[in-house]
Amino acid sequence: MAQKIIAGVTVEVNEEGYFTNPEQWTRVLASEVAQEEGIQLSDRHYAVLEFLRERFIKGENLTIRSVGNSGITDIKGFYGLFPGAPMKKAAKIAGIPKPASCV
């Protein structure tokens, strides 16, 4: 496994840059990863990230539809928060592995 220094902290990542140890995640690290992705995080972004982290910890499947049904944002809003590939970007910023539903 590879290591990457983010905001002065060494974290374990896979070949695609996703955290391999979600426990290393912090809001500071999320902000740095988001900047690399061209995203400035807001409270709504953090709400989505925390939702995804909670679902991941519970072992639930992460899908765009589940975010759309979360009550935090709808699907269109999710695409607006994380443009291009919302689930991939959100998972990376949330410090969790890329969901199986993402290619």
Report if residue 70 sits inside a domain.
yes
Residue 100: the pLDDT is 72
Instruction: Quote the number of domains for the chain.
Output: 1
pTM of the model: 0.92
Residue-level pLDDT at 73: 96
CA-to-CA distance for 54 and 62, rounded, in angstroms?
10
List the one residue out of 6, 96, 86, 3 whose CA is nearest residue 44: 86
Distance CA 13, CA 2 (A): 5
Return the H-helix or E-strand segment holding 6.
strand 2-6
Domain extent at residue 89: 2-94
Task: Flag whether 83 is in a domain.
Answer: yes
Residue 20 within any structural domain of the chain = yes
Is 76 part of any domain? yes
* Residues noted as catalytic: 102
pLDDT in tens, the chain (103 residues): 689 999 999 999 999 999 999 999 999 999 999 999 999 999 999 999 999 999 999 999 899 999 999 999 999 999 999 998 999 999 999 999 988 777 6
Domain presence at residue 101: no
Element (H, E) at 60: none
